[in-house]
């Protein structure tokens, strides 16, 4: 097996195959040995192997993987993870796929959002609660505007692995490996902190479990109970038109609930809980494999670390390890689609990832940037339509709009984010297609990472509370403003 850590796409027509003369036992052992030097041979890519197994990705090039020093420790961690209980169930995963199928058919809208990169330090009640709260509040705004159901999917409880543009980072003449997310190494700038540590996979599993446990408790009642709008107050939000609209919306919602309860003479049980699903980029394949489980109903294999894993734009090579792993799991999956993909390449990818053309199985999350979207999206929509493929289209208006400031901060402009969203709606409409979801990097805190928005943050405000370890997120107020923009657009 060969691992590649750079950001360039995997070689498109070649793959590296381990020497098949190795004994079975030895092959089993080297699965966990990311550095082993096998005699390798290059050959032309065969048609997609039909014998998928949770580890068949290991015969292909895996981009963006960590290189660990201690192989015995890696094997130990993977075997421990394989024994631990799953974080989600296959029934929940199937329920999400059904809801995504409804969204693709125009009966619901998907709100997917959360951190760019969750950090272990943020696994605390306040941060989790605020993230859940902003997502639930945004969904409420969307429901009222669109009069449709909203499928809530957090980038949460496992969003710990990051692909990077560069393998190393240099500060004041010192060069160290890049930070790749808390599941792999630490963000501090010492050699020790940047060394990939397999134990962090266990720490990430524990944090994911703690996070999902708290989310489940909050969304089952009490906090998420629409009978108690006092749980839903806006924090941090100044006296903006958005906050006034939100207060009005809550008041009319409370009136409607009271009215319906008088009419039906009992409490509306369904309003006491919300459905909430989790998602993360399925980047670290050894880790994803360890949490892949055979369904008790003999329905194949599910990745039970999350409801909806997605493939990043950097790792979606059709002959790469990520596509091989994802094609075999039963979860609904996402793929990020950026500026470099061609129409026929997208069609091949969709057919490999969703050979049965099942509705709700595949979400294409396009992320082009405000300037480029008009030049790329129509061609991709047409290609998908001509092949009669079932996909759910979602717009990520964040990742194509990242820029560096003169002071070295990564930021995104609120105006460019909203411009990409509005252009996406317009293009889908013009092409007789449907934008059924939005994918955002956001937080429930009052951070200063993206410029613009209701408080009109400028570059000189960024230093005040810039916390993200990787990409700039919308703060609470900016996120709520996006929800109002979406709800206007969907009216």
Ligand X SMILES: O=C[C@H](O)[C@H](O)COP(=O)(O)O
How far is residue 255 from each of residues 242, 252, 260, measured CA to CA in Å? Answer: 20, 5, 9
Work out whether 196 is an interface residue with ligand PEP (CB under 6 A). no
Between 281 and 310, how does the x/- string for binding to ligand PEP read (CB under 6 A)? x-----------------------------
Candidates 85-93, 160-168, 316-324, 366-374: pick the segment binding ligand X (CB under 6 A): 160-168
Judged by beta carbon distances under 5 to 8 A according to partner kind, the member of ligand X, Mn ion, ligand PEP, none in contact with residue 15 is: none
Work out whether 163 is an interface residue with ligand PEP (CB under 6 A). yes
Work out whether 428 is an interface residue with ligand PEP (CB under 6 A). no
The answer for residues whose C-beta is within 8 angstroms of residue 126's C-beta and 6 or more apart is none
Work out whether 330 is an interface residue with ligand PEP (CB under 6 A). no
Work out whether 234 is an interface residue with ligand PEP (CB under 6 A). no
Number of residues that bind ligand PEP (CB under 6 A): 9
Work out whether 312 is an interface residue with ligand PEP (CB under 6 A). yes
Q: Are 310 and 363 in contact (CB under 8 A)?
A: yes
Work out whether 164 is an interface residue with ligand X (CB under 6 A). yes
Q: Which is nearer to ligand X, 94 or 441 (CB)?
A: 441
Between 106 and 125, how does the x/- string for binding to ligand X read (CB under 6 A)? ----------x---------
The bridge status of strand 40-44 relative to strand 410-412 is unpaired
Length of the chain: 491
Residues 301-360 touching ligand X, rule: CB under 6 A, are: none
Work out whether 133 is an interface residue with ligand PEP (CB under 6 A). no
Work out whether 336 is an interface residue with ligand PEP (CB under 6 A). yes
Candidates 188-196, 209-217, 312-320, 451-459: pick the segment binding ligand PEP (CB under 6 A): 312-320
Work out whether 8 is an interface residue with ligand X (CB under 6 A). no
The answer to the question of whether 155 is labelled as a binding residue is yes
| Gap between the Cα atoms of 453 and 115, Å rounded | 18
Work out whether 23 is an interface residue with ligand X (CB under 6 A). no
Give the orientation angle of helix 476-490 with respect to helix 125-146, to 10 degrees.
20
Q: Are 153 and 110 in contact (CB under 8 A)?
A: yes
Judged by beta carbon distances under 5 to 8 A according to partner kind, the member of ligand X, Mn ion, ligand PEP, none in contact with residue 319 is: none
| Gap between the Cα atoms of 412 and 407, Å rounded | 14
| Gap between the Cα atoms of 416 and 413, Å rounded | 5
DSSP annotation string for 189-214: SSHHHHS--THHHHHHHHHHHHHHHH
Task: Please give the structure tokens belonging to residue 102.
Answer: 């409804």
Sort 421 into a burial class: Cβ within 10 Å, 0-12 / 13-18 / 19+: buried
The answer for residues whose C-beta is within 8 angstroms of residue 384's C-beta and 6 or more apart is 346, 347, 350, 364, 391
Work out whether 54 is an interface residue with ligand PEP (CB under 6 A). no
Work out whether 161 is an interface residue with ligand X (CB under 6 A). no
Q: Measured from the CB of residue 468, what is the shortest distance to Mn ion in angstroms?
A: 9
Residues 3-32 touching ligand PEP, rule: CB under 6 A, are: none
The answer to the question of whether 313 is labelled as a binding residue is no
| The only residue of 152, 367, 412, 428 in contact with ligand PEP, by rule CB under 6 A | 367
The residue sitting closest to ligand PEP, measured at its beta carbon, is 312
Between 90 and 129, how does the x/- string for binding to ligand PEP read (CB under 6 A)? --------------------------x-------------
| The only residue of 20, 37, 165, 296 in contact with ligand X, by rule CB under 6 A | 165
In degrees and rounded to multiples of 5, residue 309 shows phi and psi of -80, 155
| Gap between the Cα atoms of 198 and 251, Å rounded | 50
How far is residue 467 from each of residues 16, 128, 208, 238, measured CA to CA in Å? Answer: 40, 15, 20, 21
Alpha helices in 197-304 (DSSP H): 199-219, 241-264, 285-290
Work out whether 153 is an interface residue with ligand PEP (CB under 6 A). no
Q: Which is nearer to ligand PEP, 161 or 480 (CB)?
A: 161
Q: Are 284 and 292 in contact (CB under 8 A)?
A: no
Give the three-state DSSP class for 360: coil
| The only residue of 288, 471, 477, 481 in contact with Mn ion, by rule CB under 5 A | 471
List, as residue ranges, the binding site for phosphoenolpyruvate.
155, 336, 367
Binding site for Mn ion (CB under 5 A): 116, 471
Binding site for ligand PEP (CB under 6 A): 116, 163, 281, 312-314, 336, 367, 399
């Amino acid at each position: 097996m060969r691992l590649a850590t750079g950001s360039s796409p995997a070689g498109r027509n070649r793959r590296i195959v381990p020497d098949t003369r190795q004994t079975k036992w030895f092959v089993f052992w080297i699965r966990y040995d990311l550095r082993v030097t096998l005699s390798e041979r290059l050959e032309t890519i065969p048609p997609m192997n039909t014998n998928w197994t949770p580890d068949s990705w290991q015969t292909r090039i895996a981009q963006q993987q960590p290189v660990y020093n201690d192989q015995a420790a890696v094997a130990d961690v993977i075997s421990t993870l394989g024994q631990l209980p799953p974080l989600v169930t296959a029934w929940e995963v199937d329920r999400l796929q059904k809801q995504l199928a409804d969204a693709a058919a125009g009966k619901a809208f998907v709100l997917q959002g959360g951190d760019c990169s969750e950090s272990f330090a943020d696994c605390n009640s306040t941060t989790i609660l605020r993230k859940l709260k902003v997502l639930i509040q945004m969904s409420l705004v969307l429901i009222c505007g669109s009069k449709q159901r909203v499928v809530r999917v957090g980038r949460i409880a496992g969003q710990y692995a990051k692909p990077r543009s560069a393998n190393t980072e240099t500060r004041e003449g010192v060069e160290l490996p890049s930070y790749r997310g808390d599941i792999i190494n630490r963000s501090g700038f010492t050699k020790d902190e940047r060394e990939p540590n397999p134990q962090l996979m266990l720490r990430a599993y524990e944090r994911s479990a703690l996070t999902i446990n708290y989310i489940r408790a909050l969304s089952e009642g009490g906090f998420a109970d629409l009978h108690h709008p006092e749980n839903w107050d806006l924090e941090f939000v100044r006296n903006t038109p958005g906050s006034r609209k939100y207060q009005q919306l809550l008041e009319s919602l409370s009136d409607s609930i009271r009215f319906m309860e008088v009419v039906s003479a009992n409490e509306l049980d369904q309003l006491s809980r919300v459905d909430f699903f989790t998602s993360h980029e399925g980047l670290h394949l050894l880790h994803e494999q360890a949490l892949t489980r055979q369904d008790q109903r003999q329905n194949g294999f599910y990745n039970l670390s999350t409801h909806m894993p997605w493939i990043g734009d950097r790792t979606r090579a059709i002959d790469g390890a990520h596509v091989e792993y994802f094609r075999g799991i039963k979860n609904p999956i996402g793929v990020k689609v950026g500026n470099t993909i061609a129409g026929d390449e997208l069609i091949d990818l969709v057919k490999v990832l969703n050979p049965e053309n099942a509705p709700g199985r595949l979400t294409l999350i396009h992320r082009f940037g405000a300037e480029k979207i008009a030049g790329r999206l129509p061609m991709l929509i047409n290609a998908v339509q001509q092949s009669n493929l079932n996909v759910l289209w979602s717009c990520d208006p964040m990742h194509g709009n990242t820029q560096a400031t003169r002071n070295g901060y990564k930021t995104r402009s609120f105006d460019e984010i909203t411009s990409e969203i509005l252009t996406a709606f317009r293009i889908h409409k013009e092409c007789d297609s449907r934008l059924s979801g939005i994918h955002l990097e956001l937080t429930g805190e009052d951070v200063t990472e993206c410029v613009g928005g209701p408080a009109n943050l400028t570059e000189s405000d960024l230093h005040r509370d810039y916390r993200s370890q990787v990409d700039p997120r919308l703060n609470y107020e900016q996120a709520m403003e996006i929800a109002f923009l979406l709800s206007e657009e969907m009216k």
